[in-house]
């Protein structure tokens, strides 16, 4: 009585403990899922306005600027420049010439022009040491010079510590002149006549000038002054160069917005229309671009404004009652509209560079000759166009796992079947733990050996190894047949220990085929397999390739599949087997007709779980592949998986930035992937159980 009560108590406690364990695992998984969601969701939110300040100005504004951190505003009026804070309070005032016609701020410069002269200033915001705010500005006069004859507009193109480049254009002529900071002309870089009236011009990244005309022509003038390319649009109403100077935005007369960039095909560079945003039916009056990223503001004739991002073609924000121009602050967090009044908007625009299309679609990036799936998340400079396509990574994950399974499934399943059904119990007791030890091998070491030892070996002996993979199974079957013929029937002493005859056969056959690898190369592949493959397919043979990873990762997956499949086979009741044998079926008939059928669901789930293991494997792929984000089916080049990508890139991405959130998104995708595999496994298993009943 007492004992059974005690037992009851133990049972109850154990049950409660197990339940608690199960539930807490579930809770942890759900929490991880929630965390991953929380980190990724901000990626898909658009831009929004979080605040607005209006500042009234008594005089007519000729030009304006907003400081890098968005808290100070400068505006030029007739005879002066005012610096105010975001509430309109005066901070500083500088004198400028009277009767000015235009004032343009650009990258620490202010260029003012009157009817016949230009005045160049160094104008910059300064901070008193606090990292988040600018406190003042300073204006230093650099030089003034007469506007060259026939020219109407002057624009600063670039300025460094010793010189400044200024673009001049008039009706049919354009010049690019380099001045010293003292105002001496150092070099007339370009001076060219053009057939149309120039509307706007900017310098491209390679030093050539891009000039657009009202009638819709885009002239590309190279460094030696020759017009190297002319593109034709249906009239041009606005133009602007994107940050990085690798692409520019053009609006045509019907309101369509296009982004152009050049690429180097064989021998020459040519321009392509890489993005097109369909017209909203309104005419565009001007385009203003951000210095920080590829965000640009489009102003329409009805006074409305739309904020777009070039790479994703995403409409970020729309404001209806802008009357005038729109500036984007250096940190991208503020917009300033100026016309008769100043309006300062605070905006939240953290991830303009991410959209569904950016992650999963083909995008035509600046400098590329066609749309492509590209993963290249960082660059050396701030003006880099990030490329966030997850497709090559998802492709790589699936490719790697499939190659691992290709190698692991036949070996693991046949191994498990042979061991469980045919092997002598003494040997069984030896093999099973050995395979389990295999599972304990750290994957860093497998990856290391795969990349630095296996890859070169495979490169050298590939034809032999491939041949070995084909003929060894044949030889094994043949050897098995011989064993059957000469030993089993005669006395049965060999029963369960056939492996001692088959193993030397495997070693011999595989070894021989590797030994003759070079000969096979010479005879079959005209000397070198790699050359043969390259000339036949056009894809180079890469030393770190999918086959290497297949072997290395297969090595890690084999124990998983082997153990699970072996367990499934062990659960087949011995009585069924005994019954089948007693009814006169041979051993093989019993195995294929009875055992395998009974263990089917277990074997399928073993493979699926092996697949799940391969999908999540990180260190092996990280070390044994080149992490090349390719999308090629060729077994002889590498790939990059989601998990390796996270391991490679996460350590140095800034918390909260776009790449950071995308890495979390790829973690979420991995999670969902394995989750789906597990659910599918359960489902298949359930179905098979029902069937077998």
Partner 1 sequence: MLLIFASKKKNKEQIMKKVLLLALSGLVLSTGLFSQNVSVDGAIPSYSKKSGISGSLNSIGSDSLINLMAFWSEGFKKSYPGVKFQIEGKGSSTAPPALIEGSAQFGPMSRKMKSSEIEAFVKKYGYKPTEIVVAIDTLAVFVSKDNPLKSLSLPQIDAIFSKTRNSKYAKEITLWNQIGLSGAYSNKPISLYGRNSASGTYGYFKEHALYKGDFKNTVKEQPGSASVVQGVEKDKFAIGYSGFGYKTSGVKAIAIAPTEGAAAVEATYANALSGKYPLSRHLYIYVNKAPGKAVDPAVKEFIAYILSKEGQEIVVKDGYFPLTANMAKQQLDKLK
**Considering the rule CB under 8 A, would residue 130 count as an interface residue with partner 1?**
yes
CB of 195 to partner 1, least distance (A): 26
Q: Which stretch binds partner 1 (CB under 8 A): 321-329, 332-340, 414-422, 645-653?
A: 645-653
For helices 546-570 and 455-483, what crossing angle results, to 10°?
40
- Which of 313, 542, 566, 617 binds partner 1 (CB under 8 A)? It is 542
In whole angstroms, how close is the CB of 533 to partner 1 at the nearest point?
10
- Closest approach, Cβ 646 to partner 1, in A, equals 11
Helices (H) and strands (E) in the chain, counts: 16, 30
508: contact with partner 1 by CB under 8 A: no
> Which residues inside 411-430 make contact with partner 1, applying CB under 8 A?
429-430
Does 364 sit near partner 1 (CB under 8 A)?
A: no
Within 465-484, the residues that bind partner 1 by CB under 8 A are none
649 binds partner 1 (CB under 8 A): yes
Dist CA 240 CA 155 (whole Å): 12
Q: Which of 129, 146, 281, 584 binds partner 1 (CB under 8 A)?
A: 129
332 Rama sector, left if φ>0, alpha if ψ -120 to 50, beta otherwise: left
Instruction: Tell me the β-bridge partners of 209.
Output: 203, 221
How many C-beta atoms lie closer than 10 Å to residue 128's C-beta? 8
CA 192 to mean position of chain CA atoms: 42
Instruction: Give dist(CA 637, CA 634) in Å, integer.
Output: 6
CA distances from 164 to 129, 169, 567 (A): 28, 17, 76
At closest approach, how far in Å is the CB of 583 from partner 1?
37
- In this structure, are strands 295-300 and 305-309 parallel, antiparallel, or unpaired? antiparallel
DSSP for 66-100, please give it: E-TTSSEEEEEETTEEEEEETT--EEEEEE--SS-
Residues 235-264 that bind partner 1 (CB under 8 A): 244, 246, 263-264
DSSP for 406-468, please give it.
Answer: HHHHHHHHHHHHHHHHHS-HHHHHHHHHHHHHHHHS-HHHHHHHIIIIIHHHHHHHHHHHHHH
> Which two three-digit tokens encode residue 26?
């579930």
Q: Is 653 in the site for partner 1 (CB under 8 A)?
A: yes
- The site string for partner 1 over 71-110 (x = CB under 8 A, - otherwise) reads -------------------------------------x--
* Closest to partner 1 by CB, 546 or 591: 546
Rounded least distance, CB 641 to partner 1, Å: 12
Nearer to partner 1, 57 or 164 (CB): 164
Q: How far is the CB of 537 from partner 1 (least distance, A)?
A: 12
End-to-end C-alpha distance for the chain, whole angstroms: 40
Instruction: Please list every residue from 141 through 200 that binds partner 1, using CB under 8 A.
Output: 161
* Residues numbered 610-639 forming contacts with partner 1, rule: CB under 8 A: 622-623, 625-630, 637-638
Contact between 575 and partner 1 (CB under 8 A)? no
- Residue from 281, 440, 491, 492 touching partner 1 (CB under 8 A): that is 440
CA-CA distance, 261 to 597, in Å (whole number)? 61
Spatial separation of the C-alpha atoms in residues 615 and 407, rounded to whole Å? 15
Q: Which of 143, 205, 516, 532 binds partner 1 (CB under 8 A)?
A: 205
Find the shortest distance in angstroms from Cβ 633 to partner 1. 14
**Span 269-288, contacts to partner 1 by CB under 8 A:** 269
Radius of gyration (C-alpha) of the chain in whole angstroms: 35
Answer yes or no whether residue 353 interacts with partner 1 by CB under 8 A. no
């Amino acid at each position: 009585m007492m004992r059974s009560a005690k037992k009851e108590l133990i049972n109850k406690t154990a049950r409660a403990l197990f339940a608690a364990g199960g539930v807490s695992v579930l809770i942890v998984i759900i929490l991880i899922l929630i965390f991953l969601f929380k980190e990724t969701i901000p990626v898909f939110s658009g831009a929004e306005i979080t605040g607005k300040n209006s500042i009234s100005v008594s005089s007519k504004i000729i030009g304006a600027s907003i400081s890098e951190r968005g808290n100070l505003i400068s505006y030029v009026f007739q005879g002066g420049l005012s610096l105010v804070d975001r509430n309109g309070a005066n901070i500083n005032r500088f004198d400028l010439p009277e009767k000015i016609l235009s004032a343009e701020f650009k990258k620490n410069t202010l260029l003012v022009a009157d009817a016949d002269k230009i005045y160049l200033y160094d104008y910059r915001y300064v901070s008193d040491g606090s990292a988040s705010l600018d406190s003042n500005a300073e204006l230093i006069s650099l030089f003034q010079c007469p506007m060259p004859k026939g020219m109407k507009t002057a624009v600063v193109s670039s300025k460094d510590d010793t010189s400044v480049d200024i673009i001049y254009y008039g009706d049919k002529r354009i010049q690019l002149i380099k001045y010293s900071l003292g105002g001496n002309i150092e070099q007339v870089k370009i001076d060219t006549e053009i057939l149309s009236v120039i509307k706007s011009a900017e310098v491209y990244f390679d030093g050539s000038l891009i000039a657009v005309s009202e009638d819709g022509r885009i002239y590309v003038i190279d460094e030696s002054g020759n017009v190297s390319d002319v593109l034709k649009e249906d009239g041009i109403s606005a133009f602007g160069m994107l940050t990085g100077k690798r692409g520019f935005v053009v609006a045509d007369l019907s309101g369509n917005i296009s982004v152009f960039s050049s690429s180097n095909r064989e021998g020459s560079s040519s321009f392509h229309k890489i993005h097109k945003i369909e017209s909203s039916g309104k005419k565009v009056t001007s385009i203003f671009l951000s210095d920080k990223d590829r965000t640009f503001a489009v102003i329409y004739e009805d006074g409305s404004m739309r904020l777009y991002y070039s790479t994703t073609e995403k409409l970020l924000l729309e404001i209806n009652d802008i009357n005038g121009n729109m500036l984007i602050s250096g940190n991208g967090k503020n917009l300033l509209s100026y016309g008769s009044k100043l309006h300062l908007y605070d905006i939240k625009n953290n991830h303009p560079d991410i959209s569904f299309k950016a992650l999963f679609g083909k995008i035509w990036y600046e400098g590329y000759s066609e749309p492509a799936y590209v993963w290249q998340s960082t660059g050396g400079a701030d003006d880099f166009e990030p490329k966030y396509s997850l497709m090559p990574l998802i492709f790589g994950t699936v490719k790697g796992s499939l190659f691992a399974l290709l190698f692991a499934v036949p070996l693991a399943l046949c191994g498990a079947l042979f061991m469980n059904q045919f092997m002598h119990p003494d040997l069984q007791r030896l093999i099973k733990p050995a395979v389990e030890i295999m599972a304990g091998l750290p994957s860093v070491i497998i990856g290391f050996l795969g990349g630095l030892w296996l890859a070169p070996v495979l490169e050298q002996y590939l034809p032999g190894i491939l041949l070995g993979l084909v003929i060894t199974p044949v030889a094994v079957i043949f050897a098995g047949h011989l064993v059957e013929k000469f030993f089993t029937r005669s006395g049965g002493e060999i029963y369960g220990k056939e492996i001692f005859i088959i193993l030397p056969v495997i070693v011999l056959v595989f070894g021989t085929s590797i030994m003759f690898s070079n000969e096979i190369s010479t005879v079959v592949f005209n000397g070198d397999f790699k050359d043969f493959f390259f000339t036949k397919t056009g894809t180079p043979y890469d030393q770190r390739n999918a086959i290497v990873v297949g072997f290395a990762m297969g090595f890690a997956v084999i124990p998983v599949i082997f153990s699970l499949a072996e367990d499934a086979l062990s659960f087949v009741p011995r009585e069924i087997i005994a019954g089948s044998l007693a009814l006169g079926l041979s051993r093989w008939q019993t195995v294929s007709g009875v055992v395998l059928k009974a263990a089917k669901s277990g074997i399928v789930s073993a493979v699926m779980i092996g697949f799940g293991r391969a999908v999540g494997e990180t260190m092996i792929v990280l070390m044994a592949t080149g992490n090349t984000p390719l999308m090629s089916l060729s077994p002889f080049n590498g790939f990059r998986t989601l998990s390796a990508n996270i391991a490679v890139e996460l350590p140095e991405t800034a918390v909260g930035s776009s790449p950071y959130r995308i890495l979390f998104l790829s973690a979420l995708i991995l999670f969902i992937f394995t989750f789906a595999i597990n659910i599918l496994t359960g489902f298949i298993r359930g179905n098979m159980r029902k069937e077998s009943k």
